[in-house]
């Protein structure tokens, strides 16, 4: 019986097992590089719902029976491609499943939650009360109604963000390097205009060679004083040193991040170090797309692709 190596939460493993039934063994292992190295040698497929382990060319070289990698995620930049391409092993992702993705909203919902938390200084206010304080004047919020939100990446998640923004009475502008037809309620502008004029900036683009550093040091420097930045896409899309400088010099009011360039090894990240001592930077552990409801759906789809490819 062929083995499908599974990386991710238990709920996703169970969903994959339901799809696979008795046609293959789903072997769940921890998201640890040494464990992956040990087990990938004997698997026919890898179902990755974690993204915590870099899949290197050397790992693939040792996986003599590997036929497919199926990611229960839209991104796959943690996977080296040279050896996979040489052997003709496909990497499948949820980017192929637009219809399925349209109604998966956890990443957009976390993005909006980060925006609200930054706008209302929630972490600092909660910490203040827990420590025995009760002084609301220390935590003035930003009223969203009438403010401008700039959405970088106006696809699935960006469109959901625009819907939430409409409900809050916000002006909506957008920039997307891949779009020509924008949703009707998003006014397209240049990235420079978006950066200069938006009270809130939220980023929702995949990480590619073209989007690496897309929101550059220059853009961090030109934002409106007090602007709030949200990034739940990939850490490397933003110039992190530029963001840090903008927070340190109070050019930017706050930021909410679900991603860091060096994740999951964040201990040396300057942004992580800054967040430990400052309340205007909120960092969550790349959990935007993680909800049990969504994980079940995407792991089932990833498993289906494996079954089809292996003809089981």
Catalytic site residues?
Answer: 234, 263, 286
CA dist 34 and 32 (Å) reads 6
Dist CA 289 CA 286 (whole Å): 8
DSSP summary character for residue 236: G
Q: Considering only CA atoms, which of 18, 20, 52 is closest in space to residue 35?
A: 52
Q: What are 84's two structure tokens? A: 């996979």
Please state, in angstroms and rounded to a whole number, the distance separating the CA atoms of residues 307 and 96: 16
- Specify the DSSP class assigned to residue 202: E
Q: CB–CB of 308/22 below 8 Å? A: no
DSSP state of 199: S
By three-state DSSP, how is residue 46 classified?
strand
Angle between helices 10-20 and 292-310 (to 10 degrees): 40
């Amino acid at each position: 019986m062929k083995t499908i190596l599974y990386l991710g939460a238990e709920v996703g493993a169970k969903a994959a097992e339901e799809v696979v039934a008795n046609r293959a063994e789903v072997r769940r292992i921890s998201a640890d590089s040494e464990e992956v190295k040990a087990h990938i040698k004997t698997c026919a497929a890898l179902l990755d719902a974690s993204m915590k382990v870099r899949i290197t060319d050397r790992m693939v070289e040792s996986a003599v029976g590997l036929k497919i990698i199926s990611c229960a995620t839209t991104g796959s930049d943690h996977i080296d491609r040279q050896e996979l391409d040489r052997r003709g092993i496909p990497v499948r992702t949820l980017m192929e499943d637009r219809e399925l993705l349209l109604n998966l909203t956890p990443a957009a919902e976390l993005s909006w939650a980060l925006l609200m938390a930054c706008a209302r200084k929630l972490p600092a206010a909660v910490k203040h009360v827990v420590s025995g304080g009760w002084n609301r004047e220390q935590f003035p919020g930003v009223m969203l109604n009438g403010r401008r939100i700039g959405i970088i990446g106006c696809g699935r998640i960006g469109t959901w963000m625009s819907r939430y923004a409409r409900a809050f009475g916000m002006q909506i502008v957008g920039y997307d390097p891949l779009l020509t037809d924008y949703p009707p309620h998003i006014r397209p502008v240049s990235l420079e205009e978006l950066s200069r004029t938006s009270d809130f900036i939220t980023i929702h683009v995949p990480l590619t060679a073209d989007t690496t550093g897309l929101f550059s040091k220059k853009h961090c420097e030109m934002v409106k004083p007090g602007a709030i930045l949200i990034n739940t896409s990939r850490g490397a899309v933003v110039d992190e040193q530029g963001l840090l400088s903008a927070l340190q010099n109070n050019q930017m009011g706050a930021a909410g991040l679900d991603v860091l360039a060096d994740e999951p090894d964040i201990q040396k990240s300057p942004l992580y170090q800054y967040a430990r001592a400052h309340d205007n930077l909120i960092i969550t552990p790349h959990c935007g797309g993680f909800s049990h409801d969504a994980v079940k759906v995407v792991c089932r789809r990833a498993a289906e692709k494996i079954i089809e490819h292996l003809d089981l």
